[in-house]
């Protein structure tokens, strides 16, 4: 199975800096979105470190390396374990940057990472950047946000509608740079031809309802570039309160 992909980011209509970063690496079939946070441009640095270190790890470790000096979760295939190890290494890199430069203290970043290997698409994430699967006209969310409001919804303490308006909706409970060890959540999807995976920052999902995201992606099924542009435009038309990033990956 082959994939084609496209990604786009925009500063939005309210912010001075774009702290989101993304990567579309067709050859390695690696796709990333990271959403940085922290003052004085530190958010931009954190998301850049995450993207660079994950891609470096994936590009420089081979699938068939005989040794594996990292944690290994036997519930997942090798490619998923590589992706999770890459995310954990990115956490170390963000922490290391803060140790070296006091001005970066307090920075952090989310990441949602997608690696396609043969017919299996692995997704690993930390924070509230999301992955969705659009298949047969349906949109399903692959990731569960590591955010305070999401956890309240899961515990039955808030409704989804309350969570969307809640003053603490931007509080994330897991991030790269937040602790010495980070545990990414991971999943594996057996891809079908024509599947579209969307990776995005909360600047998209906080502004644009899922029904509209689905409509845009399915209306531009053959044109990922146009679909990405329309997703960005939709976020900005609704106020563009945050940086917005969308990466679309289609199996063909
Ligand atoms: Ca954001």
Burial 135-154 (b: 16+ CB within 10 A, else e): beeebeebbebbbbbbbbbe
Mean pLDDT of 167-182: 93
Cα–Cα dist 35/44, whole Å? 8
- Tens digit of each residue's pLDDT (9 = 90 or more) over 224-245: 999 999 999 999 999 999 999 9
Which range of residues forms the domain containing residue 57? 3-251
Mean pLDDT of 16-20: 96
Residue 83, token pair as written in the block = 């992706």
Mean pLDDT of 197-215: 97
Tell me how far the alpha carbon of residue 25 lies from the centroid of ligand 1, in angstroms. 22
Confidence of residue 24 (pLDDT cuts 50, 70, 90): very high
Contact 252, 6 (CB under 8 A): no
Tell me how far the alpha carbon of residue 5 lies from the centroid of ligand 1, in angstroms. 22
Confidence of residue 40 (pLDDT cuts 50, 70, 90): confident
Mean pLDDT of 35-60: 94
Cα–Cα dist 89/70, whole Å? 10
Tell me how far the alpha carbon of residue 223 lies from the centroid of ligand 1, in angstroms. 25
97 pLDDT exceeds 80? yes
C-alpha 219: how far from chain center: 23
Predicted pLDDT of residue 72: 86
66 pLDDT exceeds 70? no
Tell me how far the alpha carbon of residue 35 lies from the centroid of ligand 1, in angstroms. 5
Tell me how far the alpha carbon of residue 151 lies from the centroid of ligand 1, in angstroms. 18
Contact 7, 197 (CB under 8 A): no
Confidence of residue 1 (pLDDT cuts 50, 70, 90): confident
CATH code, domain carrying 189: 3.60.40.10
pTM here is: 0.96
Tell me how far the alpha carbon of residue 75 lies from the centroid of ligand 1, in angstroms. 31
Residue 14, token pair as written in the block = 């309210």
Confidence of residue 222 (pLDDT cuts 50, 70, 90): confident
Tell me how far the alpha carbon of residue 1 lies from the centroid of ligand 1, in angstroms. 32
Total number of domains in the chain: 1
Tell me how far the alpha carbon of residue 38 lies from the centroid of ligand 1, in angstroms. 11
Confidence of residue 63 (pLDDT cuts 50, 70, 90): low
- Tens digit of each residue's pLDDT (9 = 90 or more) over 98-146: 999 999 999 999 999 999 999 999 999 999 999 999 999 999 999 999 9
Residue 171's closest CA among 245, 110, 238? Answer: 110
Cα–Cα dist 44/1, whole Å? 34
Confidence of residue 186 (pLDDT cuts 50, 70, 90): very high
Tell me how far the alpha carbon of residue 238 lies from the centroid of ligand 1, in angstroms. 15
Predicted pLDDT of residue 64: 61
Angstrom CA distances, 5 to 90, 227, 250, stand at 23, 11, 6
């Amino acid at each position: 199975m082959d994939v084609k992909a496209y990604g786009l980011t925009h500063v939005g209509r309210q912010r001075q800096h774009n702290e989101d970063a993304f990567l579309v690496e067709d050859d390695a079939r690696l796709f990333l979105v990271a959403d940085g946070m922290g003052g004085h441009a530190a958010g931009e640095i954190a998301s850049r470190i995450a993207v660079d270190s994950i891609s470096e790890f994936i590009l420089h470790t081979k699938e068939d390396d005989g040794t594996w000096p990292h944690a290994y979760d036997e519930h997942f295939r090798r490619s998923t374990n590589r992706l999770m190890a890459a995310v954990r290494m990115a956490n170390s890199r963000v922490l290391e940057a803060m140790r070296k430069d006091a001005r970066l203290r307090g920075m952090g970043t989310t990441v949602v990472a997608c690696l396609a290997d043969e017919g299996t698409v692995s997704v690993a994430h930390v924070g509230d950047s999301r992955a969705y699967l659009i298949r047969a006209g349906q949109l399903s969310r692959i990731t569960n946000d590591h955010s305070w409001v999401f956890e309240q919804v899961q515990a039955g303490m808030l409704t989804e509608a309350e969570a969307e308006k809640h003053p603490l909706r931007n509080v994330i409970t897991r991030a790269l740079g937040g602790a010495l060890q980070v545990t990414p959540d991971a999943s594996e999807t057996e891809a079908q031809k024509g599947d579209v995976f969307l990776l995005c920052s909360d600047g998209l999902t906080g502004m644009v309802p899922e029904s509209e995201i689905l409509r845009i992606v399915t209306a531009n099924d053959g044109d990922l570039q146009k679909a990405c542009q329309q997703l960005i435009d939709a976020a900005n038309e609704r106020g563009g309160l945050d940086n917005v990033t969308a990466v679309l990956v289609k199996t063909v």
